[in-house]
């Protein structure tokens, strides 16, 4: 049975029964899990700085010689694809006196000359040129390449560990989930647009990505009309999660046996959530919303790098209009609906109204996420 058929079957059953996938019990999360700054610092370190996190999609640096820069959680990064098509991630900081080496957002070049004193590095990070070395004095080039971070590419996603010298086993980290990610064929999509959104604290923000309980109430004018509220089909692979929602047309599946269903994927919406910070939401019609969520310096802020992908390069005016409409709809849903509401949660964490949050049985993905934070952070 294909995944889409299995998910549509489970979603239809829930739709007909008025049920949803549930956790065995409710969960209490003490409020200090959201507000305690020392706990935040420790968890941010364990979960985001010392564990692999997703930072980009392969399609952002598709060809040998392509590069991209980003600042992730205060660390300037240079991501390159070398002539062997291997992806590297360097700290985008010169080894001479620390200037930002590559100042462009993205492009195609194989060597990078520091704008300060013109030391030059290859896209494999080697120091290949020292301006005025006769007078500067000899430089041990082998020891003075760009600082490289452990970086792995799987299923169209680029993962790094932001702590220099710390390696990770990506195959162990992703486990069988890599197959589910691979099925999304992310390398075949095209980047339509990229944008950054400021948000509230890390956990309050992520909670909103991990349940469908709010869809009818918060997204009544955007994504809500397309999906059935409070109906979740939920699976986990280690720390990672898949959530499927039923589209409103799912009732049509009652007209025929599952063996007759032609395109079961057109009756569901599937979100892949890669722990701890990547959400991939493939939407019917060749459109995909991708969010990389990074905690800020304190427990009260996040930065989201949001990508809008299209299955095909929009070649007609209609196709361009369709992806633009999707892009605006998701911007409204995330920035103007989710994040506005989450800001009210964030703003009132210190109000004294709650000393814990009660997470429902129908919010199993939220429960799982918080359990995984505790596991990774060793709490
Ligand atoms: S800081 Fe880069 S060459 Fe001096
Ligand atoms: Fe939402």
- Please state the domain extents for the chain: 3-51+184-376, 61-167
CATH 2.102.10.10 fits 61-167, yes or no: yes
Q: Which residues surround ligand 2, an ion (CB under 5 A)?
A: 338
Query: Reading across the β-sheet that carries 87-91, which strands appear in turn?
Result: 106-108, 66-72, 75-81, 87-91, 148-149
**38 C-alpha to ligand 1 centroid (Å):** 35
pLDDT for position 224: 85
Q: Is 116 in the pocket of ligand 1 (CB under 6 A)?
A: yes
| Ligand 1 center from residue 94 Cα (angstroms) | 6
Residue 379, pLDDT score? 56
CA 345 / ligand 2 centre spacing (Å): 14
**How many angstroms separate the CA atoms of 222 and 255, rounded?**
28
Shortest-distance ligand to the CA of residue 211: 2
Question: β-strands 75-81, 127-129: how paired?
Answer: unpaired
Cα 308 to Cα 3: distance, rounded to the nearest angstrom: 24
Domains 3-51+184-376 and 61-167 share a fold: no
- Is any ligand 1 atom within 6 A of the Cβ of residue 96? yes
Q: Which residues pair with 127 in a beta bridge?
A: 121
- CA 372, 25, 216, 30 dihedral sign is negative
How would you write the pLDDT of the chain (379 residues) with one tens digit per residue? 899 999 999 999 999 999 999 999 999 999 999 999 999 999 999 999 999 999 999 999 999 999 999 999 999 999 999 999 999 999 999 999 999 999 999 999 999 999 999 999 999 999 999 999 999 999 999 999 999 999 999 999 999 999 999 999 999 999 999 999 999 999 999 999 999 999 999 999 999 999 999 999 999 988 888 899 999 999 999 999 999 999 999 999 999 999 999 999 999 999 999 999 999 998 877 999 999 999 999 999 999 999 999 999 999 999 999 999 999 999 999 999 999 999 999 999 999 999 999 999 999 999 999 999 999 998 5
Domain topology for 3-51+184-376: Naphthalene 1,2-dioxygenase Alpha Subunit; Chain A, domain 1 (3.90.380)
Q: What is the pTM of this model?
A: 0.97
Q: Whose CA is nearest to atom 1 of ligand 1?
A: 97
**Considering only CA atoms, which residue is closest to atom 4 of ligand 1?**
117
């Amino acid at each position: 049975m294909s995944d889409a058929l299995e998910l549509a079957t489970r979603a239809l059953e829930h739709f007909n029964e008025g049920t949803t996938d549930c956790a065995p019990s409710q969960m209490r999360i003490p409020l200090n899990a959201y507000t305690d700054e020392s706990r935040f610092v420790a968890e941010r370190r364990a979960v985001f700085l010392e564990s692999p996190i997703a930072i980009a999609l392969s399609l952002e640096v598709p060809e040998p010689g392509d590069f991209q820069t980003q600042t992730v959680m205060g660390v300037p990064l240079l991501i390159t694809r070398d002539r062997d098509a291997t992806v590297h991630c360097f700290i985008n900081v010169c080894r001479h006196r620390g200037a930002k080496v590559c100042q462009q957002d993205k492009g195609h070049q194989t060597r990078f000359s520091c704008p300060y004193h013109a030391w030059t590095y290859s896209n494999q990070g080697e120091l290949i040129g020292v301006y005025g070395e006769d007078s500067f004095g000899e430089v041990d080039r082998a020891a003075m390449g760009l600082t490289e971070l452990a970086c792995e590419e799987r299923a169209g996603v680029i993962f790094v560990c932001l702590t220099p010298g710390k390696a990770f086993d990506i195959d162990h980290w992703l486990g069988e989930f890599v197959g589910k990610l691979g099925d999304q064929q992310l390398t075949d999509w095209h980047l339509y647009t990229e944008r950054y959104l400021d948000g509230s604290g890390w956990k309050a923000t992520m909670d909103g990505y991990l349940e469908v309980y709010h869809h009818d109430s918060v997204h009544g004018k955007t994504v809500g009309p397309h999906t059935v509220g409070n109906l979740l089909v939920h699976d986990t692979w280690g720390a990672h999660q898949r959530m499927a929602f039923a589209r409103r047309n799912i009732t049509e599946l009652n007209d025929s046996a599952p063996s007759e269903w032609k395109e079961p994927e057109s009756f569901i919406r599937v979100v892949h959530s890669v722990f701890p910070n990547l959400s991939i939401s493939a939407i019917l019609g060749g459109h995909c919303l991708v969010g990389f969520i990074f905690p800020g310096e304190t427990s009260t802020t996040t930065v989201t790098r949001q990508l809008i992908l299209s299955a095909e390069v929009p070649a007609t005016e209609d196709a361009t209009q369709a992806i633009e409409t999707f892009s605006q709809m998701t911007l409204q849903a995330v920035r103007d609906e989710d994040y506005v509401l989450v800001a009210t949660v964030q703003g009132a964490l210190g109000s004294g109204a709650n000393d814990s949050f009660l997470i429902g049985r129908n919010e199993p993905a939220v429960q799982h996420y918080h359990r995984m934070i505790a596991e990774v952070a060793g709490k």
